[in-house]
Structure formats: C-alpha cells, structure tokens
Homo-oligomer: A and B are copies of this chain.
Amino acid sequence: MKTNPGRFFEDYRIGETITHAVPRTVSGGERALYHALYPARHALYSSDEFARASGLSASPIDDLVAFHVVFGKTVPDISLNAVANLGYAEGRWLAPVYPGDTLRSESTVIGLKENSNGKSGVVYVRTRGLNQNGDCVLEYVRWVMVRKNRLDAPAPEAVVPELKKALAPADLVIPAGLDFTRYDFALAGEPHRWGDYQVGEQIDHVDGVTIEEAEHMIATRLWQNTAKVHFDATFRDDGKRLIYGGHIISMARALSFNGLANAQMIVALNGGAHANPCFSGDTVKAWSEVLDKADTDAPGVGAIRLRLVAVKQGAAPFALKGEDGKYAPEVLLDLDYWAVMPK
C-alpha cells in the first residue's frame, strides 16, 4: 500500500525519535495570512520597526504560526489514528522564527500506556521544532489516545512521564536581545504594563468572531495539517467538519489583544485542553485570567502566566467548569501559558 495508514498504538516504542515529513520555509506570505485569518494585532509581530526597537532583528513570525507549523507536521505520524488529543505540557519557545527560516519537526516517544479495554492506549511524545541551522525553536509534550490495529499486540510496559504542571519562571527562555525599556505603549495599543496586572485578575476580551468553513480550512491547510476530519464533510456521520483545535487557540489569543495588547510574546505553554468541539457558525469569544507573574533578567521585560479561555455563544461570564468538575458546554479551550510584557 502506498498511502499512509498512520501509526497505531502498537507501532510506538519508548525512546524512538520520529522524523516528521515536509520541512517548510516561511515567508511574509504566512505572516500576511495569519493576520488575515485572525484578528492578530500584537505590534511585535506586525512591525519590523517595533521589533527592532525591542532588540530583535526584525518582526518574527507569530509564535503560534511556529507552533502550528511544527504541530502540523506531526499529525500524519502521531494523531492520524488518534481518538482524542488529551493534553499539552512543558511547551517552550526557544528562539524566534523569521521569514526565510525553514522548519522541520521530530518527536520522541516518552510515554506509553495501554488502556484497560485493550483497544487503545495513550502515547506521550516530546516534539521539537528545528530550524535550518538545527536550532530547536520550540518544544512541547503532547499526549493522545491512539487506537490499536492488532488487538492481540501485547501491551507495552506502561511508562507515564512526570510532567511539570507549569513551567517555572527559571525555565522560561527570553529571546536573546529582547529589551522593552524603550517600549512604545501608544504604538502597541494599550497603556497597561506588567505591573498593572494582578494575579487573579480576569479580563473579558469583548470581541467575537463567527467561524466560517473556508477560514478554518484555509488556516489548517496552511499548517499542512491534513487530518481529514477538518476537511471532508462526508467523513463524520453528522456531516460536520470538526475545527482544528489550533484554530481556536489562535483565534482566542488574537482576541485577547483587547486587554492584553502588551502580552507580546508567548514563551511557554504550561497546558491546554480542547474542552468542547467547535463547528462552523459558532461565534468565538475569549477571556483571560492572570495566574502568576515573574520577573526576568531581560531589560524591561516581565513574565505573566495567563489562562486563556475560548467560549462560544451562550457562555456565562467567566464560566469554566460546573460543580461536577467538567467544562461548561460552551467552553472550547482552556489554555495555560506564559507571555512576556513590558514592565
């Protein structure tokens, strides 16, 4: 058979590293498309001049573009036969990605645990995004539930990695040269500094975007994520195309500009859950909560840990989970990340 059947649970081995296919050179084209698909307005990713005034050589490609490009490459090897995307942890952005850079991905299997039903299991991988110089620009752990193909394949010895609940401030990598001492708050869009945010503070980002089929498919293809559930209306029994979870991440992050315009760069992903599926016609809104704050050694740069929640129409203000501990049905995404802000 010439087509890719994907890997099944019994095909993974602890410690093996999978080279993912199709390296990708990014350009101003990906950048413009990102601005066209999401209401992204963070100045550092919009203006070369603003980025240079912040100590970088030019405006990088959005951190989430890097994430999506790296993630998309893993789909044919990791999640083609996945039943569920269970979680993220220990995500770190290690170097900015610039137009002209070429990204590729590789994943190491760091955990395996067969389910008691014997029909599927959980696979943990640590994925790294590498540029043309071999520098790791991004790494994260993801775990997915994957079907078995041969139900009689023996269960592997269970290995469940210990993962940090959140990256510690000392784990964060601030881009080399980043300097916010000359930060222009007027050009950035909001006056609020790192010191103006309090742990526990919640921010309703106000704006909403109604999702269209064409847009989520254009976005998902752009990251060369070809999982058929996103594109083929004949694939699911209900005739609906499931929207790539990363589309909701980017939409929510872009919406969070209104209230967090100065949370410029994402430096870590502590965790995340795609709480409920999203479909075309849903209207996505977002709110954030300040979870933690930390100082950094970079001049003028503070770190802020944020919960970013995407919801759809009908959500109650700041509602997250019910008394049963389950996500409210209108919650689409619950993401925990560190960003850097001017002090």
> Footprint of B on A, CB under 8 Å?
2-4, 19, 21-33, 35-39, 41, 43, 46-50, 59, 76, 99-100, 102, 104, 132, 186-190, 192, 196-197, 201, 203-210, 212-215, 217-219, 221-222, 224, 226, 228, 231-235, 241, 258-261, 281, 283, 313
Of all chain B residues, which has the CB nearest A283?
B234
Q: How far is the CA of A196 from the CA of B1 in the complex (A)?
A: 11
By a CB distance below 8 angstroms, the chain B residues around A22 are 41, 43, 46-47, 187-189
- The residue from B132, B187, B212, B228 contacting A21, defined by CB atoms under 8 A apart: B187
Known contacts A35-B221, A76-B189, A208-B234, then 17 further A-B pairs from the complex at CB < 8 Å, ordered by chain A residue: A2-B192, A2-B203, A3-B203, A3-B204, A4-B190, A21-B43, A21-B188, A22-B43, A22-B189, A26-B32, A29-B31, A35-B224, A39-B226, A47-B104, A104-B187, A208-B232, A234-B283
Of all chain B residues, which has the CB nearest A258?
B3
A44 to B: closest C-beta gap in Å: 10
Q: How far is the CA of A97 from the CA of B234 in the complex (A)?
A: 36
Q: How far is the CA of A221 from the CA of B210 in the complex (A)?
A: 13
- The residue from B33, B210, B228 contacting A233, defined by CB atoms under 8 A apart: B210
Given the known interface contacts A207-B228, A232-B207, A232-B209, the answer about A23 and B50 at a Cβ–Cβ threshold of 8 Å is: yes
Q: How far is the CA of A48 from the CA of B27 in the complex (A)?
A: 11
Q: Are A33 and B36 in contact (CB under 8 A)?
A: yes
A30 to B: closest C-beta gap in Å: 5
By a CB distance below 8 angstroms, the chain B residues around A26 are 32
By a CB distance below 8 angstroms, the chain B residues around A258 are 3-4, 226
Q: By CB atoms of chain B within 10 A, which of A36, A224, A283 has the most?
A: A36
Q: Are A33 and B33 in contact (CB under 8 A)?
A: yes
By a CB distance below 8 angstroms, the chain B residues around A132 are 48-49
A342 to B: closest C-beta gap in Å: 14
Q: Are B226 and A41 in contact (CB under 8 A)?
A: yes
Given the known interface contacts A48-B102, A49-B132, A212-B214, the answer about A21 and B189 at a Cβ–Cβ threshold of 8 Å is: yes
Q: Are A210 and B187 in contact (CB under 8 A)?
A: no
- The residue from B102, B209, B218 contacting A49, defined by CB atoms under 8 A apart: B102
By a CB distance below 8 angstroms, the chain B residues around A186 are 19, 21
- The residue from B21, B33, B102, B214 contacting A261, defined by CB atoms under 8 A apart: B21
Q: Identify 18 residue pairs between A and B in the complex whose beta-carbon atoms are under 8 Å apart, listed by A's number.
A: A2-B196, A3-B204, A4-B258, A21-B186, A21-B189, A22-B43, A24-B46, A24-B47, A27-B31, A30-B32, A39-B221, A49-B132, A76-B189, A207-B226, A207-B228, A208-B228, A214-B214, A226-B258
By a CB distance below 8 angstroms, the chain B residues around A212 are 213-214, 217
